[in-house]
Every structure is written in C-alpha cells, then in structure tokens.
Amino acid sequence: MLLHPDRLFPADPATRAIARDLYRTVEHLPIVSPHGHTDPRWWGENPAFANPAELFVIPDHYVVRMLVSQGVPYEALGIGENAESDPRVIWRTFARHYHLFRGTPSRLWLDHAFSEVFGLDERLCEDNAEHHYDVIAERLADPAYRPRALFDRFGIEVIATTDGALDDLAHHQAVRASGWQGRIVPTYRPDGVVDPDTDGFRRNVEQLGMLTGCDIGTWEGYLAAHRARRDFFRSMGATATDHGHPTPRTADLGQAEAHALYQRVLKGALTRGDAELFRAQMLTEMARMSVEDGLVMQLHAGSMRSHNAGVLKRYGRDRGFDIPVATNFTEALQPLLNAVGMDPRLTLILFTLDESVYARELAPLAGVYPSLRLGPPWWFHDSFEGIRRYREATTETAGFFNTAGFNDDTRALCSIPARHDVSRRADCAYLAELVTSHRLDEAEAHELSPLLAGELARRAYRL
C-alpha cells in the first residue's frame, strides 16, 4: 500500500484518533488554490500531457535538483543541448534514483499522484519503471487525464495562475470563451517591469507603455500604466498581485526623489543601490494601489536566484539553483507599513524562506497590523516538518486567524491534491496535539480545521 490512511498523524494513539476525526471532515473539502504556477495554456487549450517524463520529471525542479545533487547530469533528464530525448530513458533514470527521495515531500507527492491519479499501488523502482511508464502513458492519452478533467476530478474550486504584467491573458480569455466552468483567475506579477535588474527591463517598460497608452517617460505615467494593467487583470478575475523580490525592503520616498530615481532607472543610469531602492519604492506604490483597487498583495522574498552561473548559462532559470538567504522583515517593511499598514482596505500576505523570522518577526507583525496576513510555509517548507514548525512558531503570537490558509505554489498539476492533503493532515495533527494537551477544546478544533483547509485562504485572497 503506497498511501497509509493514517500517514502524518501523531504516534500517540489518543492523539491520532483525534487527528483522524478532524481530518475526516476536511478530507474532501474543495481545493482553494490562490497562489500557483500552473500553465494557463492547460486551462485555455486543455491539451494532453505528452508523456510521463514531461509530466513528472523534466519540469519539476524538486525532482531535478535531487537527481543533479547525486551526480545525474541535466542532459540525462532531457535538459540542455544534446540532452536525452527519449522520455522512456529519462523515466528510467528517474526510477533508478527514486530511493533518493526517501524522507522528502516530493516522495509523498509523487506517491500520492501515482496512487490516486494513476492507480499505481507499487512504489516506483528500477524494476517496475517500464510498467509505470506504460500505465501513465496510456492514461495520458485518455481525455479524462487532460487538465480540465483533472481540475474537476481534484475538486478544485478556484485556481490562480501567476502572470507577467505584460501578459495578454489570452488563455484566461479562452477559458471564458469556452464555456467550461472551472474558475481560473490570473495574478498580477509585475516583477519584469518593476525590477531594473531584470533582463530586458527597459524593453518591458516600453511595452507597458504601449499596451496601456500611458506615457512611461514620466513617473506618473509609469504608475498610471500599472493601474491600467491592474484594472485589466481585475477585469479578468484577478484578486491578487504577487511580488518576488530578493529582499522585502520597502521605501517611501518623497515625490521628487521618486521621480528622479525613476528617471535614473529608465535611463539605465543606476547608481549603487538604485535597483534595490526602486524595487523597495515600488512595493509601497503597489500597496497604495491595492488600497485603491482592492487587489490583495503577496510578497515572496529571500531567494537568491540561479546561484550557479554555469548552470544558468547552460540550462537556464528554474533548474533547482534558487537558494534562500537570511531575511529581515521588521526593518524592511517599516516604510510601507508606516504609509498604509493601518489601512483596513489593504491585505498584504508575507512569505519567507527563512524560518527564523516566523516567531521573531512575521508572527509579531501579523499579530498586530490589520493589513498583514502570514502566508503559509513556502517552497522548501510546505512539507510536513515545515508546516509543523510554522504552526508551532507562529500560532502563539499570531493565532490562527492572522494566517492566510494554505496554497500549493506549484507548476506540477498532479501534486496539487497531494500538497493540500499534506497540509490538511499536518494541520489536523497539530490541532489534535493542542486538544490532547488541553490547549484547545475538541469542538474548537473542529471549527478551526475547515478554516485552515480553505476558508482562511478564501477570506485572505477575497475569493
């Protein structure tokens, strides 16, 4: 049996029984997925997935990084020039190394997908690699395994994609036009027109001007162009923006200073620190726009992208080489929070890869600012231990109601139910421990578990 019904529940039998009871009531609740990276094309065009390697190996940076760490070349995983092109060969490499994933969330997610989505009940290994490949490949040819069918089968209530500010949202348009009822909403992600360190930044800003008819030659025009794009995203169903910055630094410059900074940025005449200062200023501007238009703001900070220059050059971005760094929020967010942090119209959801800030900074901040919500454990940390550490470190100071529910943050479609299941189980385990230690009544735990499983995300993201 690949999936034990009691997985992730506490060892103590009395506590396990409580966790089981709690889980039973949330197990089948609809999935609310307010932050993710599924390909909008899946929803717009509903294509079949090409083969098992394209579905489970090549695009999954968790899988790829683990194999690379143990000496498997990118080429053997179908990545790079002269890469292996036979998906069956790639699959075999993956299967041969499947033991590497022991103890990792990837193992839980993959086993869940193999078992629940493809009906495979034996753990993947070298010996059954061909059989697994054949079964998955056969099913992928079946319309029941196309994206929209899986969306329905997974019980997804709503899923948000993440889309560049310049995106035409054509796939979202296609969904609307198709008559299919799945709720797919875009998210306004302006990094490419906000971060002067982005490749092609200047070109992007010019395109922003063309798309909106705003005069991006001026600071006011540039801000107006953002407003126009946000309006367009809202018209397509967006309820949130997303900001992926190296640091959470914010700034609140005077008009003249901001204007001058923008001119330097636009002309590529940056002095040291200008790029970070511009990103910092733009977070505050985005927060001001959120006060006006009601889009919920998300801040993801603390990752050093593409750590290895050679890998970036040869294999590109998102190949497993984004590595977290120490992150400080208390000082960094002060300018933004002084500007609009007490405004009841703003919701700003904070994500970190540096767990030491949970208890030290994020819970104290989210536990007092009405605009702040604590995002769920992110990236490396939306795992069983990651969720446990998150709850244990944040609940005592921020409570449950200042957290923003769970989100799966994934581009791996088949892992979505698995991830929400891990989150629901981990939260039920945590609640059960509060009950056993008499920090919570059982009735209270039953009220909280569906909130954590979806309702808090609905509220935080205004879905």
Complex with a second copy: residue 133 or 390, whichever CB lies closer: 390
Tell me the β-bridge partners of 352: 301
| CA triple 459-249-375, angle to 5 deg | 25
77 binds a second copy (CB under 8 A): no
9 binds a second copy (CB under 8 A): yes
125 binds a second copy (CB under 8 A): no
**Which pair of tokens denotes residue 96?**
């041969």
- How many angstroms separate the most distant Cα atoms in the chain? 68
Residue partners of 68: CB distance under 8 A and separation at least 6: 74, 77, 319, 320
Q: Which of 86, 305, 396, 462 binds a second copy (CB under 8 A)?
A: 396
Rounded to the nearest 5°, which phi and psi values hold at 33?
A: -125, 80
Query: Which helix (DSSP H) or strand (DSSP E) does residue 150 occupy?
Result: helix 147-153
Q: Which of 90, 113, 282, 440 binds a second copy (CB under 8 A)?
A: 440
**Binding mask 259-298 vs a second copy (x if CB under 8 A, - otherwise)?**
----------------------------------------
To the nearest whole angstrom, how small is the minimum distance from the Cβ of residue 333 to a second copy? 9
Tell me the β-bridge partners of 156: 31
To the nearest whole angstrom, how small is the minimum distance from the Cβ of residue 273 to a second copy? 17
320 binds a second copy (CB under 8 A): yes
The C-alpha atoms of residue 157 and residue 33 are separated, in whole angstroms, by 8
Interface with a second copy in residues 127-156 (CB under 8 A): none
Q: Which of 186, 190, 248, 341 binds a second copy (CB under 8 A)?
A: 341
Total number of residues that touch a second copy (CB under 8 A): 90
To the nearest whole angstrom, how small is the minimum distance from the Cβ of residue 108 to a second copy? 7
To the nearest whole angstrom, how small is the minimum distance from the Cβ of residue 113 to a second copy? 16
Cβ neighbours around 256 below 10 Å, total: 9
Interface with a second copy in residues 83-102 (CB under 8 A): 99-102
381 binds a second copy (CB under 8 A): yes
Interface with a second copy in residues 399-418 (CB under 8 A): 399-402
Q: Which of 142, 215, 331, 462 binds a second copy (CB under 8 A)?
A: 331
Complex with a second copy: residue 145 or 358, whichever CB lies closer: 358
Strand boundaries in 90-223, DSSP class E: 156-160, 163-164, 184-185, 188-189
**Which pair of tokens denotes residue 187?**
């998210």
Q: Which of 89, 170, 392, 462 binds a second copy (CB under 8 A)?
A: 392
The C-alpha atoms of residue 184 and residue 31 are separated, in whole angstroms, by 13
187 binds a second copy (CB under 8 A): no
To the nearest whole angstrom, how small is the minimum distance from the Cβ of residue 171 to a second copy? 31
To the nearest whole angstrom, how small is the minimum distance from the Cβ of residue 154 to a second copy? 22
103 binds a second copy (CB under 8 A): yes
**Binding mask 349-368 vs a second copy (x if CB under 8 A, - otherwise)?**
----xxxx--xxx-xxxxxx
In terms of C-beta density within 10 A (0-12 exposed, 13-18 middle, 19 or more buried), how is residue 449 classed? Answer: buried
Q: Which of 86, 130, 142, 385 binds a second copy (CB under 8 A)?
A: 385
For a second copy, which stretch binds (CB under 8 A), given 68-76, 83-91, 241-249, 268-276?
A: 68-76
| CA triple 51-312-91, angle to 5 deg | 20
238 binds a second copy (CB under 8 A): no
Q: Name the nearest CA neighbour of 275 among 220, 202, 362.
A: 202
76 binds a second copy (CB under 8 A): no
SS3 content of the chain, % helix, strand, coil (to 5): 55, 10, 40
To the nearest whole angstrom, how small is the minimum distance from the Cβ of residue 438 to a second copy? 4
Q: What is the DSSP letter of 403?
A: B
Complex with a second copy: residue 73 or 200, whichever CB lies closer: 73
Distances, alpha carbon 456 to alpha carbons 155, 247, 351, 448, in Å: 18, 26, 16, 10
**Binding mask 27-66 vs a second copy (x if CB under 8 A, - otherwise)?**
--------------------------------------xx
Rounded to the nearest 5°, which phi and psi values hold at 301?
A: -135, 160
Q: Which of 69, 200, 257, 260 binds a second copy (CB under 8 A)?
A: 69
The C-alpha atoms of residue 347 and residue 162 are separated, in whole angstroms, by 18
**Which pair of tokens denotes residue 211?**
């798309």
To the nearest whole angstrom, how small is the minimum distance from the Cβ of residue 305 to a second copy? 11
Interface with a second copy in residues 191-230 (CB under 8 A): none
The C-alpha atoms of residue 190 and residue 163 are separated, in whole angstroms, by 8
